[in-house]
Amino acid sequence: MTNSKNVLFYVFGKGSLNELPLLIQNKRTKADDYCIYFVDRFLAESPVLGSLSKMENDLLFFVDTVDEPTTADINRVYSEIVNSRKTHPVVIVGMGGGCTLDTAKAISNLLTNGGRAEDYQGWDLVRVPGIYKIGIPTISGTGAESSRTCVMTNMEKHLKLGMNSEYTIYDQLIMDPGLSKTVERSQYFYSGVDTYIHCIESLGGRYRHAIGDAFSYQALTISREVFGAEDMQDEGSREKLMVASYLGGCAIANSYVGVVHPLSAGLSTVLKTHHCIGNCIVMNVMEEFYPRETTEFHHFLEKQRVTLPTNVTANLTDEDFNDLYEGTIIHEKPLANALGEGFREILTRDRVVEIFKRM
């Protein structure tokens, strides 16, 4: 029996970013109250920065999303905040894609729990509620805005895993579909399909239940409408996908993912492949685990005229493939969800390597 939690408050709709100043003002009760902002570096020159309501004593960090966040990255930012002696903000704001939203969640947890990011990689290791945080997604699909985790890669341990805790969930969301208008087409697809993959994995698992199923079914229905549309990026589709992403994050908060995400995590730790495109590369060869869904995914690719990288593992060594296997098989909960407790007997090293060689 799981005691589940979802985001408590959200503002939704075109132009809803305009609500941010009031939401922050409501948290500033004293003259010296300050905020910490984490903003995707892509937005550094964007006029949307004018909506942040930033004051002189606030801190602003631009998050570089060329690579996904590592535990070392999170620790570095945390140390910078500690050295600035601004460790008790009244609110943290995360504005961007999954990398930025996850960074804000991780720092929120560290500021109240202390220690290092790697101390909390796993399930329910965060003991103290984090700093109040507002999430503002600028691209849809990862569900980072509504999930109970923030994913980081520990490069030393070849481990990609999040702080999976109810304390990681955002307190407030602003979901403005207008913010995803300028997202590059392929990236919009790669990220958006993450919602679809979350939900087929949740529905195909052993730990599903009626509430998680409801989130998954609705998110899948909307995803199919978006990726089956003539224009997946028109205003109506962007609005729909933002809803699907939110519901998809709620779905996996009530269940687990399956085979795709662990294999994608392997790609991230060895090749530094970004999460969403990694999921797509894996999904492209998932016929034996998700046959109907893989066919549907191929239809989405064709309909939206999106191509995937090929031969991504063509020049890897045996040592690389061993690291890929280790980076995959360590994800016991999702693999047990998909394949049962005997998942290691199914996903032998040889079988996992064969799967990676088809990517």
Q: What was the pLDDT predicted at 2?
A: 65
Q: Provide the pLDDT for residue 209.
A: 86
Q: Is the pLDDT of residue 155 over 90?
A: no
Checking if the pLDDT of 294 tops 90, the result is yes
Convert the pLDDT of each residue in 53-84 to its tens digit. Answer: 899 999 999 999 999 999 999 999 999 999 99
How distant, in Å, are the alpha carbons of 207, 212, 333, 352 from that of 336? 9, 17, 5, 15
**How many angstroms separate the first and last alpha carbons of the chain?**
38
Q: Which of the four pLDDT bands, split at 50, 70 and 90, describes residue 253?
A: confident
* Strand ranges, E, within 226-339: none
1 pLDDT tier (thresholds 50, 70, 90): low
**Residue spans of alpha helices (H) in 205-254:** 210-227, 235-253
The more confident residue out of 5 and 75 is 75
Instruction: Report which of 250, 290, 266 is spatially closest to residue 148, judged by C-alpha positions.
Output: 250
Per-residue pLDDT for 288 more than 60?
Answer: yes
**pTM score:** 0.95
Give the CA count within 13 Å in the CB-facing half-sphere of 309. 17
| CB distance 261 to 151 below 8 Å | no
Q: What is the pLDDT of residues 13-32, one digit of tens each?
A: 999 999 999 999 999 999 99
What is the pLDDT, as a whole number, of residue 119?
97
- Give me the half-sphere count of Cα atoms (radius 13 Å) on the Cβ side of residue 301: 15
- What gap in Å lies between CA 335 and CA 329, rounded to an integer? 8
* Structure-block tokens of residue 201: 């994995």
Average pLDDT over every residue of 131-148:
97
pLDDT digits 0-9 by tens, 204-244: 999 988 999 999 999 999 999 999 999 999 999 999 999 99
CA 301 → CA 185, 266, 351, distances in Å? 12, 23, 26
Residue 51 CA to residue 11 CA, distance in Å, equals: 15
Q: Residues 84-107, buried b or exposed e (16+ Cβ, 10 A)?
A: eebeebbbbbbbbbbbbbbbbbbb
DSSP tag of 37: E
Q: Higher model confidence: residue 303 or residue 66?
A: 303
- The answer to whether residue 113 scores a pLDDT higher than 90 is yes
Q: Which of 3-7, 42-46, 219-223, 345-349 has the lowest mean pLDDT?
A: 3-7
186-207 pLDDT, tens digit per residue, is 999 999 999 999 999 999 999 9
Bigger pLDDT: 160 vs 351: 351
- In this predicted structure, what is the pLDDT of residue 158? 82
Residues 6+ away with beta carbon under 8 Å from 240: 222, 225, 226
| CA 216-166-98 angle, 5° bins | 65
Mean pLDDT of the chain: 96
Alpha-carbon span 206 to 324, nearest angstrom: 25
Residue ranges of domains in the chain, CATH in brackets: 9-180 (3.40.50.1970), 185-357 (1.20.1090.10)
Going across the sheet that includes 172-175, the strands are 9-12, 172-175, 133-137, 91-96, 35-40, 59-63
Please check the confidence at residue 300 and state whether its pLDDT lies above 90.
yes
What pLDDT score does 324 carry?
97
The single-letter code of the amino acid at 50 is: G
What percent of the chain has pLDDT above 70? 99
